[in-house]
């Protein structure tokens, strides 16, 4: 009856996956793992399911300058692809996540930023995913049983993580990480990006009204 049926996704929530060359990622990840271990040792006690996180200022430390440069380059490329009209941007926070066995990251987003990202240093078997959740609330209002999950009926999607891989995504996009099933720790580094001059340059209304100069009291 129909000549053809063409699904057309609307308003996609795009994530940007960057893959470092192996010859770059290998030495870099070894260096990062050593530095992170130094910063969090001795490790404070954690309850089951909890993780170790550093302060969110790794981008200010010289030991992480090479990684910071990669973050800035990747973010610049994403902003150019989005054709955003901006002046400058900066890293507003950067921190390491070390997940022991059972360690998770519950559902969350990163408020007051435009982009967020995560770089993977060490991924043990079975802990190679980050889960993104549908930001729309409406699909859960009517939720019949699903025979087979696919791109059209799922309210969450996994992105596979690999050492040397970086994922950038909108900071508002809700995400989580399942428990680490391995005895080996899972190490990642998260960061946020925001426009430096947002108030001065970007936050004003996008429309023009009647010029106020027309109504100045000129006397007489």
Read off the pLDDT of residues 128-153 as tens digits, 9 standing for 90 and up.
999 999 998 888 888 899 999 988 88
What one-character DSSP code corresponds to residue 112? T
Q: 47-66 burial string, b = 16+ CB within 10 Å, else e?
A: eeeebbebebebbeeeebee
H helices present in 116-207, as ranges: none
Q: What is the mean pLDDT of residues 34-48?
A: 93
Q: What is the mean pLDDT of residues 82-88?
A: 94
Q: Per the structure block, which two tokens stand in for 174?
A: 């809700």
Per-residue confidence (pLDDT) for residue 217, from 0 to 100: 63
Weakest mean pLDDT among 16-30, 95-109, 160-174, 197-211? 197-211
**What's the fold here for domain 16-134+152-198?**
Jelly Rolls (2.60.120)
Per-residue confidence (pLDDT) for residue 216, from 0 to 100: 63
Local structure of 76: helix, strand or coil: helix
Q: What percent of the chain has pLDDT over 70?
A: 97
Read off the pLDDT of residues 152-204 as tens digits, 9 standing for 90 and up.
889 899 999 999 999 999 999 999 999 999 999 999 999 999 999 999 888 88
Q: What percent of the chain has pLDDT over 90?
A: 77
Per-residue confidence (pLDDT) for residue 1, from 0 to 100: 87
**pLDDT greater than 80 at residue 220:** no
Higher confidence at residue 50 or residue 205? 50
Per-residue confidence (pLDDT) for residue 52, from 0 to 100: 95
Q: What is the mean pLDDT of residues 70-87?
A: 97
Mean pLDDT of the chain: 93
**pLDDT greater than 60 at residue 219:** no
Per-residue confidence (pLDDT) for residue 136, from 0 to 100: 87
Per-residue confidence (pLDDT) for residue 214, from 0 to 100: 63
Q: How confident is the model at residue 17 (pLDDT cuts 50, 70, 90)?
A: very high
Alpha carbon 179 to its chain centroid, in Å, reads 19
Taking alpha carbons only, the member of 191, 55, 50, 181 closest to residue 121 is 191
Q: How confident is the model at residue 212 (pLDDT cuts 50, 70, 90)?
A: confident
């Amino acid at each position: 009856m129909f000549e053809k049926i063409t699904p057309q996704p609307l308003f996609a929530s795009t994530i940007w996956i960057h893959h470092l060359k192996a010859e770059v990622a290998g030495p870099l990840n070894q260096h990062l793992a050593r530095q992170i271990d130094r910063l969090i040792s001795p490790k404070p006690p954690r309850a089951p399911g909890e993780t170790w996180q550093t302060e969110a200022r790794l981008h200010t430390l010289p030991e992480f300058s090479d990684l910071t440069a990669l973050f800035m380059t990747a973010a610049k490329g994403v902003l150019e692809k989005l054709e955003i009209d901006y002046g400058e941007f900066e890293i507003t926070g950067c921190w390491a996540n070390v997940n022991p066995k059972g360690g998770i990251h519950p559902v969350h987003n990163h408020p007051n930023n435009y982009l967020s990202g995560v770089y993977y240093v060490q991924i043990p078997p079975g802990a190679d995913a980050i889960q993104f959740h549908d930001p729309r609330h409406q699909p859960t209002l009517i939720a019949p049983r699903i025979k087979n999950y696919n791109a059209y009926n799922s309210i969450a999607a996994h992105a596979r993580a690999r050492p040397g891989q970086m994922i950038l995504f909108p900071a508002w996009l809700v995400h989580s990480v399942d428990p680490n099933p391995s005895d080996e720790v899972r190490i990642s580094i998260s960061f946020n990006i925001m426009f430096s001059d947002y108030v001065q340059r970007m936050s004003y209304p996008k429309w023009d009204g009647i010029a106020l100069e027309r109504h100045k009291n000129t006397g007489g």
